Chain A
């Protein structure tokens, strides 16, 4: 166990050390190793292919010499015995010299079909060795008879491997007459090649090192260039999070940046949540003061401080209206907070829709008269009963009517109605105001949303929570709410409530 713990500690130390390496160093290290490795592998492959090529070339050369030789001797070398004529013919052919001049050729010899040595060129160091092998073995002979082409055999020699090339010579009647044997020192070729490779290899590390250094510099500059925005992001994220952070923290760690952005994401979510909470808390604390204001407006308007001048009465009316507005706003916010906290209880009961619609409209009659608006009711005569919390549905209708009145210029009409649908009762409030653009119709239910470039015909603009509350309340009652209409043709907000099941019998 201690060993394991030690390993773990060591692994952690290594990991920490790696974490503490700056991003630009990491990137430089990675790319440099990659480039150097690639150069090394490619060079090795190229060298190997070049060696092969040289070797194949050398062999091809030997083959070519022998083939030429065989062609020259074809039908001329007769009789096959060491004679001045034969020697002359060989010298005349000029081929013999080729064997002397090639450093890679170990030996060359001519033998008749019985294996007797006919001619050995000068200056062949392995003369004695060749004499030991003067007889052509049966296999070679058979092979000669059949193929007549050059074949290769390997011999080990103290100086290194020698490859023997062997070619048959035929007479005019196609009868095998003898063979030419050519020993090629491939080992020497190889040695020469290795020598040149070694020289190249000597240069190769230099090449690799210089290319690597240059590329490392380029990569480092590039990495530094890429790193600066990461550092900037990191700092900005830190500022946003209000966290000075640990000075040991890397300012360029992508993993840390990721963590910080997760933190920001959480913070934004928290802020969104807190927004309602905060408005809720404020509203909660505003209830008593607004209650006092409402109390004193009532007090004054009912002669608590004596008779009032007509204009004071009018101004008090305006204050009252605003205080009421304020009260509704507080109610709405607090209801939203209650919905958020699942602390809103709904009393689901059968609702007589026509009566409820009438009640909601009646609430606004005095205000409609004052604002010169027409309030119309359009309920189907056989409107079915819905199921819901009557108080809450009335609250939704009141919110929608108040909203419609706010945005409808004097002389306009607000229609409140209900239509039977298959499984539901659909209620609506439509106005003859400016309407809501199609693309904004879904957005109006979002918290704190305001339709841009739309100003109410009267009253304050509001905070954009009335419709949100309506949506939440209707959805809590199993209904659906949406906006309709076109700009310039008025807006309609429709919502559904579950229809009361009529029991048969």
Chain B
């Protein structure tokens, strides 16, 4: 049982992620559709994994990372960016500084998502 934060402005995406992560993998999911809401959720509790959409109505995943970094919370929580289009100028080192492990480009096989989740949680537990 782990706590996972899903940040995505697309409701169906949040829904299916919640269903898979909660009902199938038995984790707890908190959803946010905006960067500000995600910051509030992070302030209110601890998370074991964050799945972040790249572009949101009030900012980007990077904005969230920077905001959390400013608040000195969730810096070491493993994070994955889930997006339709991986940025051309994807700077792995910059993202890694905020705990972002990689970028998952839609449409991805669910097996990939499951193994990523298991890997992150396994590592966070050790």
Contacts and interface: CB of A to CB of B under 8 A. Distances in A.
A290 B107 contact: yes
A294 B20 contact: no
Contacts of A295: 16-17, 19-20, 110
A330 B107 CA distance: 8
Contact of B12 (A292, A304, A345): A292
A287 interface: yes
A464 B15 CA distance: 34
A292 B14 CA distance: 9
Contacts of A452: none
Nearest to B83: A287
Contacts of B10: 288
Interface string A291-334: 11011101100111000000000000000000010010011001
B24 A299 contact: yes
Given A289-B12, A299-B19, A345-B88, A294 B24 contact: no
Nearest to A290: B107
B123 interface: no
Q: How large is the interface on B (under 10, 10 to 19, 20 to 34, 35 or more residues)?
A: 10 to 19
Contacts of A330: 107
Most A CB within 10 A of own CB, among B10, B15, B16, B17: B16
A83 B15 CA distance: 151
B19 A288 contact: no
Nearest to A284: B84
A287 B19 contact: no
Interface residues of A, number: 22
B38 to A, nearest CB: 19
Counting chain A CB atoms within 10 Å of each CB, the highest count among B10, B19, B106, B108 belongs to B106
Contact of B24 (A290, A291, A304, A324): A304
A123 interface: no
Given A288-B12, A289-B12, A298 B88 contact: no
B16 A304 contact: no
B23 interface: yes
A343 interface: yes
B13 interface: yes
B109 interface: yes
Per CB-CB distance, the 9 closest pairs between chain A and chain B, nearest first, are A295-B16, A298-B110, A327-B107, A287-B106, A292-B16, A291-B107, A287-B84, A292-B12, A291-B106
Given A296-B19, A304-B23, 14 more contacts: A284-B85, A289-B12, A291-B108, A292-B12, A292-B15, A292-B16, A294-B109, A296-B16, A299-B24, A304-B19, A304-B24, A327-B107, A331-B107, A343-B88
Interface of B: 10, 12-13, 15-17, 19-20, 23-24, 84-85, 88, 106-111
Interface of A: 284, 287-292, 294-296, 298-299, 302-304, 324, 327, 330-331, 334, 343, 345
